[in-house]
């Protein structure tokens, strides 16, 4: 019968007294402690503002990298489409020639069928009134046979060339399809990265956004300091060069004619570059305030390489479309020797570029959500600078 007894709940008695209130309080405490324990890791897992800022910047950089891939795929697609159009036009022309050759060949066959023409034989000789008539008929048939052979050879050649061009057109169409697929993939990647960055920013509170703005101001102040330091270094270097030039001019005063000849031999190249750079910078300054739009080349909006390409195009210099190619489109120079008009490239994967204006400053299209503006080349730290290239 003992098995029918209800077991008493443990922990509900103390010294023989039931204490439901105490048990409830204990359970509540345990629950609160459990909630606190569970909440603590969540609080610890929440990223700091610096981490959020880095994540957003990384997403924008990844979007910019994908933008360059999009630009390259777009350029490749345009070239491939042009090639396909050219091949298709060529195929159409060759098909027309093939039809003409086929018609000519058919006319010979019809003529032979109607006249019953064949190779001259004894019967032809017997039907001829004179030996001269025989030879005349023989020469005529030889000419007809020769023209027919030419027509056949031309037809075969045209057919072979047409088939070859059709094969090339088919392969180019396949390549075009692949290029369009790459273009679509790159576009989707850009849109996804930008969406991730926007989503991350929308989750921040007003206080967190204010702190981020303060961090950004500190970074800009540091960048301005480094830009001023670079400007002083460049000014000192320029002053030293001028002093050295004055000393050289003074030392060669006795042979003034030879000195002036030496000066004229180096001045034109510098003058030519400065003239082009002035035109490129004038164009870039006129774009300040226009929005960054990925893949854009103007005139209403730009991405980073679209701006530098358009600026130097205004100076008569053709640059490639992407940062990956622009970095090889000139002479690499040390940062300390950067001149206005030079291109400044950023990051190890060369995903950003600006046009140098002097004193450690540049004009660039920074990232989505921003506008073309003047900014320190140290805007993302000195380590972010990849190289400086003089494009002309």
Decide: 86 and 246 in contact? Cβ < 8 Å: no
DSSP one-letter code for 297: B
Helix axes 49-115, 131-202, angle to 10 degrees: 160
Rounded CA-CA distance 274/312 in Å is 12
Rounded CA-CA distance 201/368 in Å is 13
Catalytic annotation on 4?
no
Radius of gyration of the chain, Cα coordinates, nearest whole angstrom: 40
* Residue 18, beta-bridge partner list: 13
Is the dihedral angle over the CA atoms 348, 353, 359, 363 positive or is it negative? negative
Rounded CA-CA distance 313/302 in Å is 14
Tell me which residue of 354, 391, 347, 351 sits closest to 376, measured CA to CA.
Answer: 354
Rounded CA-CA distance 367/248 in Å is 47
For 119-136, b where at least 16 C-beta lie within 10 A, e where not — what string? ebeeeeeeebeeeeebee
Distances (CA, A) of 253 to 237, 239, 257: 24, 21, 9
Structure tokens at 7: 């077991």
Rounded CA-CA distance 231/364 in Å is 19
Catalytic annotation on 238?
no
Catalytic annotation on 386?
no
| DSSP character string of 355-388 | EEEETTEEEE--STT-B-EEEETTTT-GGGEEEE
Query: Residues with catalytic annotation?
Result: 304, 352, 364
């Amino acid at each position: 019968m003992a098995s029918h007894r209800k077991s008493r709940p443990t922990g509900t008695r103390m010294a023989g007294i039931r204490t439901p209130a105490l048990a409830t309080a204990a359970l509540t405490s345990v629950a609160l402690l459990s909630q606190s324990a569970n909440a603590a890791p969540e609080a610890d897992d929440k990223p700091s503002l610096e981490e959020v800022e880095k994540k957003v910047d990384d997403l924008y950089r990844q979007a910019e990298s994908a933008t360059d891939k999009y630009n390259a795929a777009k350029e490749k697609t345009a070239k491939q489409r042009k090639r396909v159009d050219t091949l298709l036009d060529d195929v159409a022309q060759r098909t027309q020639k093939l039809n003409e050759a086929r018609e000519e060949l058919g006319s010979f066959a019809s003529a032979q069928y109607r006249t019953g023409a064949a190779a001259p034989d004894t019967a032809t000789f017997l039907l001829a009134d004179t030996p001269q008539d025989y030879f005349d008929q023989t020469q005529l048939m030889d000419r007809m046979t020769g023209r027919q052979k030419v027509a056949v050879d031309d037809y075969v050649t045209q057919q072979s060339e047409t088939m070859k061009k059709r094969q090339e057109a088919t392969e180019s169409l396949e390549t075009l399809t692949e290029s369009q697929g790459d273009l679509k993939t790159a576009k989707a990647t850009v849109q996804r990265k930008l969406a991730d960055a926007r989503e991350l920013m929308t989750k921040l509170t007003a206080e967190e956004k204010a702190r981020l703005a303060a961090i950004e101001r500190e970074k800009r102040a540091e960048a301005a300091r480094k830009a001023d330091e670079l400007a002083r270094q460049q000014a000192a270097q320029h002053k030293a060069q001028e002093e050295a030039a004055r000393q050289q001019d003074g030392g060669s005063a006795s042979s003034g004619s030879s000195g002036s000849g030496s000066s004229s031999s180096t001045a034109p190249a510098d003058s030519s570059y400065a003239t082009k750079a002035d035109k490129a910078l004038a164009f870039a300054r006129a774009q300040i305030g226009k929005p960054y739009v990925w893949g854009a080349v103007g005139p209403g909006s730009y991405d980073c390489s679209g701006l530098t390409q358009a600026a130097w195009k205004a100076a008569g210099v053709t640059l490639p479309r992407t940062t990956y190619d622009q970095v090889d489109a000139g002479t690499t120079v040390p940062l300390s020797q950067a001149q206005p008009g030079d291109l400044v490239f950023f990051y190890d994967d060369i995903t950003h570029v600006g046009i140098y204006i002097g004193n450690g400053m540049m004009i660039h299209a920074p990232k989505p959500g921003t506008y073309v503006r003047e900014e320190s080349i140290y805007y993302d730290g000195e380590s972010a600078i990849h190289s400086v290239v003089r494009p002309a």
